[in-house]
């Protein structure tokens, strides 16, 4: 899925060290890995992840939010 790759690339570029520590960046990164492994993610709230992202980073214009929304739409189409 192209959105998972895009999210991983953006996190690696913008928040490389934060993916190593507990928080929303790590949660989003781990979510992309779970999707790649085709694990069940039905209980994931994309809205909650986006809200936590803004709360923790104060970056409400990040491309990560745009790609996260695209991933949510793609996920809903498949299910």
**What confidence score (pLDDT) does residue 1 get?**
60
Give the tokens for residue 35. Answer: 């999707």
Q: Is the model more confident about 76 or about 35? A: 35
**For the chain, counts of helices (H) and of strands (E):** 4, 0
* pLDDT (tens digit per residue) in 32-54: 999 999 998 888 999 999 999 99
Angle between helices 46-57 and 63-78 (to 10 degrees): 170
Residue 22 is part of which domain span?
A: 2-78
Question: pLDDT category, 20, cuts 50, 70, 90?
Answer: very high
State how far the alpha carbon of 28 is from the alpha carbons of 2, 19, in Å.
15, 9
Count CB atoms within 10 A of the CB of residue 74. Answer: 15
Our count of domains for the chain comes to: 1
The token pair that represents 26 in the structure block: 């790590």
């Amino acid at each position: 899925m192209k959105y998972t790759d895009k999210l991983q690339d953006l996190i690696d570029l913008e928040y490389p060290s934060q993916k190593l520590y507990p928080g929303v960046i790590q949660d989003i990164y781990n979510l992309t890995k779970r999707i790649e492994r085709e694990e069940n993610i039905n209980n994931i709230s994309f809205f909650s992840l986006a809200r936590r992202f803004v709360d923790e980073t104060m970056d409400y214009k990040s491309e990560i939010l745009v790609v996260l929304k695209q991933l949510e739409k793609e996920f809903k189409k498949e299910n």
